[in-house]
Amino acid sequence: MPSPRAVGARLVAGVDSSTQSCKVVIRDAETGALVRQGRASHPDGTEVNPDAWWEALQVAIEDAGGLDDVAAISVGGQQHGMVALDESGAVIRDALLWNDTRSAGAAADLVAELGAAAWADATGSVPVASYTVTKLRWLAEHEPHHAARVAAVALPHDWLTWRLAGQGPGLRADLTALRTDRSDASGTGYWSPDRGDYDRALLTRALGHDAVLPLVLGARDSAGVTAGRWPGVTLGPGAGDNAGAALGLAMVEGDVAVSIGTSGVVSAISAVPSHDASGLVSGFADATGRFLPLACTLNAARVGEATARILGVSLEELSHLALSAPAGCDGLVMVPYLEGERTPNLPEATGALHGLRLATATPAHVARAAVEGLLCGLADGLDALRAQGAHVERLFLIGGGARSEALRQIAPDILGAPVLVPPAGEYVADGAARQAAWVLSGEAEPPTWPMAGVERYDGSPGTRHTGPEIRARYAEARAAVLNRP
């Protein structure tokens, strides 16, 4: 039930607790109009003390003007991160994030033990180093003293929702009060989107023993109310970041989102679950009761950042340089596996430049090769979704990387379809806010919020034929990379 303050209140809050920062938007529950917003930074690294997320959330809420006039709040967050809690509710060790690949060996072992097809059938996905289940196996093998203390396992958004409800060490610490949603549970590796249940045998196989897991709520169920500084605000179930963005974009069947943030993600709304034994497509759930087949690359916006740093230019200058080079970069190819890779599953791989000659050793060629390499990886993901039966009618280009004019102009040629670019926004946080409004309304479907200012990019007529050629050369180059020393 909505909290008492919901009576007469019209504002909702949405949170995006991402890898790099925490963003909070306050919106009108009926119209979706943005009222105010705030943000705070997260520390760098692939393992982080969750207290840093909690502190950033407090700062971001304060920066957004607080919650005194807000009726409901939902938290969207980075997926897969392992938050291990002891029986007192204390965090046992720093959380291992989705982009921490130390569990690559554990992932390979888990797949070998049961077979890829069995994992895909049980959970919709084949485990890779990103998934929570692999991090639990790593913990059991490398830090058994920590694994033995694990009483509950949460994900970043679950843990923040729990903290907002007044739970935590030194406060109340009811581990059975942990709540999550289908979308985030589907990225653990021990919950089935198809059957809607945890597979505790898989959890025990990874961790070595059973543990408390968050109750999985329905799309418009309440997770309780807030306590502490801003009490009485209705809590939504929250969502994983990709499902949150899909909800923020009001995606429906036939829509595909291409998100370029810390990771690169291609995701589609589907009415049926997927079970891809190849591991290219993760069979996740969405935040509306449907499904969200998804292909993810570890390397996205940071490819541009790293290339700009190498060239000594700003991101805007990098975009100008890329557009000044010819399509295909005269054969120069960047394979941007700067942090290993998830799709394809090459956690130990490193990046490479192929086709470097005197003629291609220019800042412009390198800049464009970075953009084309990033997009080729995403195009491979789009092909994998189509192979799983995804119907593609519209492509949305979102995320921080989508602000690049070069990326917008080159994307249609590489992805093979026109792209729609919504106005720059915090779509994960917007999706969380829309979910909060949905919880308040109790209606069968989420509220309809208008979206204006969408730009369409069709590509350059003179370069459309080069897209398949660029992708073919990239496919040849990606087979020739070195593993990290």
Task: Please state, in angstroms and rounded to a whole number, the distance separating the CA atoms of residues 356 and 17.
Answer: 39
In angstroms, the Cα distances linking 311 to 41, 158, 361, 416 are 26, 40, 12, 29
**Residue 43 DSSP label:** -
What amino acid occupies position 358?
Answer: L
Helix axes 405-415, 363-387, angle to 10 degrees: 50
Task: Please state, in angstroms and rounded to a whole number, the distance separating the CA atoms of residues 358 and 371.
Answer: 20
Residue 390's pLDDT is: 86
What amino acid occupies position 89?
Answer: G
Look up residue 183 and give its two tokens: 């979308």
Question: Cis ω on the peptide bond leading into residue 344 (within 30° of 0)?
Answer: yes
If one counts every other C-beta atom within 10 angstroms of the C-beta of residue 212, the result is 17
Q: Which position among 16, 181, 241, 276 bears the catalytic label?
A: 241
In angstroms, the Cα distances linking 8 to 17, 69, 160 are 28, 10, 27
Task: Please state, in angstroms and rounded to a whole number, the distance separating the CA atoms of residues 471 and 485.
Answer: 28
Look up residue 131 and give its two tokens: 């998934």
What amino acid occupies position 458?
Answer: D
276 is catalytic: no
Bridge partners of 398?
259
User: pLDDT tens string for the chain (485 positions)?
Assistant: 444 454 455 999 999 999 999 999 999 999 999 999 999 999 999 999 999 999 999 999 999 999 999 999 999 999 999 999 999 999 999 999 998 999 999 999 999 999 999 999 999 999 999 999 999 999 999 999 999 999 999 999 999 999 999 999 888 899 999 999 999 999 999 999 999 999 999 999 999 999 999 999 999 999 999 999 999 999 999 999 999 999 999 999 989 999 898 889 899 999 889 999 999 899 999 999 999 999 988 899 999 999 999 999 999 999 999 999 999 999 999 999 999 987 887 889 999 999 999 999 999 999 999 999 999 999 988 998 988 888 888 899 998 899 999 999 999 999 988 899 998 889 999 999 999 999 999 999 999 999 889 999 998 776 666 899 999 999 999 999 999 99
**Residue 94 DSSP label:** P
* Straight-line distance from the first to the last Cα atom of the chain, in angstroms, rounded to the nearest whole number: 55
Task: Please state, in angstroms and rounded to a whole number, the distance separating the CA atoms of residues 334 and 332.
Answer: 7
